[in-house]
Amino acid sequence: MHLHIVGAFFTWGDNMDINVTINDTYIDWLDKKQATQIFFGGSSSGKSFFLCQKIVIDCLKGVNWLCCRNVAKTIRNSTYNQIVKTITEMGLNSLFKINKSDMVITCLNNSCQILFNGLDDVEKVKSITPAKGVLERIFIEEATEIKEDAYMQLTKRLRGISDNDKYIVMAFNPILKSHWIYKKFFGGWEDNKNSYEDDNVCILKTTYKDNDMLTPEDKDRLENETDPYYYNVYSLGNWGVLGNVIFKNWECVDLSDMIQHFDNIYMGCDFGYASDPNALIKINYDKARKIIYVFDEWYQAGMSDEELSEVAREFVGNDYITCDSAEPKTIDFLVSKGVKAVPAMKGADSINRGIRWLQGHKIVIHSKCQNFKNEIEQYHWQEDKYGNAMAKPVDKDNHLLDALRYATEQLQLENKVTASIRL
């Protein structure tokens, strides 16, 4: 059998047509050879969907892939499920064996595999070996979540003799220009560029305008974004610069050696709505030194109440967790499942009260809590028409921050906040 790409269609052999359309924007990027390949840009651009198609096609061609995210527990409900869905949509289930428990997908024609692993402990990646041949390509979803050291470790995994080109593919929405990916790969990049190539690196920038599968409602939402930062980053796909950030009192370090000594623990939960994630956070509070240690998180969309209760039981244990009081039925359900969930009190000005209290502390973030780091890094004040900060935060991408406010609510009330908010 032979594999062919015919225009925008994928064909397997002479007798089997697989009528899967590849977006015209991406089709020329199926066979790039550079050692580092970057697909970035705005939300809903179709980049992750295309890369799943590419991974499946490559596996049929005889290529072994490793798919990664920073945290292992997030990969099943993102990259793995999307690739399984892609195989089904392409009508290829008969050509693949899917091992759900181990998250291993094997092509039955050539024994090549698609493997999945988190980068929580990048050292464990060293032991990942496909059943046949060598690891040839690595896909990093949400690559802005990982550290540069993890990226460098992954480059060392692409070794051994192979007839196929070896490379790493990274996909992400851009965040701040202070990020290591920007510093390493985007020197001289201009926002009006759509692509860049040299001998070692290729970069493709896409936005919602490149995705023909979006509904008019999806496009309207992105086109009518009112916050300048979110419009620039998530609609236009540009690297961002934030001026009116709310929190500057934080750092991100490895807390692994400290966690066993934490003895003043608080937890909070913000419930997901529609596509918003359920967000759970765990902190240790050092009152004497006024330090908040954020050392564990859970962040996942599309969960049923039953699934959330299972996660919460493991996350909370025998302790209490303070939850968003806007969902009393969900709280009651968690309680019925053995979770010690209590509603937050909130009240007038609770958001700004919580911000004032948090601004009066040092916030130390465990390096594994990348979702929280991403939120606090981007959390910023609304601006008036002259660009001046207003005493009201932008209500977006703040799920774990809301959970943190709930977790520390009692502490805020015990230490009545009198300090003025810092804009």
pTM above 0.85, yes or no: no
Over residues 281-315, the pLDDT tens digits come to: 999 999 999 999 999 999 998 889 999 999 999 99
Residues 177 and 287 grouped into a single domain: no
- The answer, yes or no, to whether residue 124 has pLDDT greater than 50, is yes
Pairing between β-strand 96-99 and β-strand 16-21 as defined by DSSP bridges: unpaired
Q: What is the pLDDT of residue 313?
A: 96
Q: How far apart are CA 250 and CA 376, in angstroms?
A: 9
Lowest-confidence region among 75-79, 111-115, 202-206: 75-79
> 225 and 266 in one domain?
no
Does one domain contain both 231 and 258? no
| Whole-angstrom Cα Rg for the chain | 23
Residues 6+ apart with CB under 8 A from 379: 245, 246, 247, 393, 394, 397, 398, 401
Q: Which of 235, 265, 282 is the last residue of a domain?
A: 235
Residue 190 belongs to a domain: yes
Q: Do both 191 and 230 map to the same domain?
A: yes
Residue 103, domain member (yes or no): yes
With residue 148 as reference, give the H or E element that holds it.
helix 148-155
Average pLDDT, the chain: 89
Q: Is the pLDDT of residue 72 over 90?
A: no
* Same domain (yes/no): 169, 313: no
Q: Residue 270 belongs to what domain range?
A: 250-414
Whether residue 220 sits in one domain with residue 173:
yes
Which CATH number do you get for residue 289? Answer: 3.30.420.280
The span from the CA of 238 to the CA of 230, in Å, is 10
pLDDT over 70 for what percent of the chain? 93
Whether residues 216 and 277 share a domain: the answer is no
Residue whose entry in the numeric block shows the structure tokens 């397997």: 12
Which of the residue ranges 10-14, 135-139, 367-371, 387-391 would you say has the lowest mean pLDDT?
A: 10-14
Say which range, 220-224, 238-242, 373-377, has the weakest mean pLDDT. Answer: 238-242
How far apart, in Å, do the first and last CA atoms of the chain sit? 64
| Inside any domain, residue 295 | yes
Query: Closest by alpha carbon to 112, among 163, 171, 71?
Result: 163
51 neighbors 65 (Cβ within 8 angstroms): no
Residues 218 and 258 both lie in one domain: no
- Per-residue confidence band for 12, with pLDDT thresholds at 50, 70 and 90: low
Higher pLDDT, 283 or 12: 283
Share of the chain above pLDDT 90, in %: 65
Q: How many residues does the chain have?
A: 423
With beta carbons less than 8 A apart as the criterion, state whether 194 and 47 touch.
no
pLDDT tens for 205-231 read 999 999 988 889 989 989 998 888 889
Q: How far is 116 from 104, CA to CA, in rounded Å?
A: 7
Residue 291, domain member (yes or no)? yes
CATH number at residue 96: 3.40.50.300
Pair (208, 274) in one structural domain: no
Number of domains in the chain: 2
**Of 188, 209, 235, which residue constitutes the final position of a domain?**
235
Q: Which two tokens stand for residue 65?
A: 């892939």
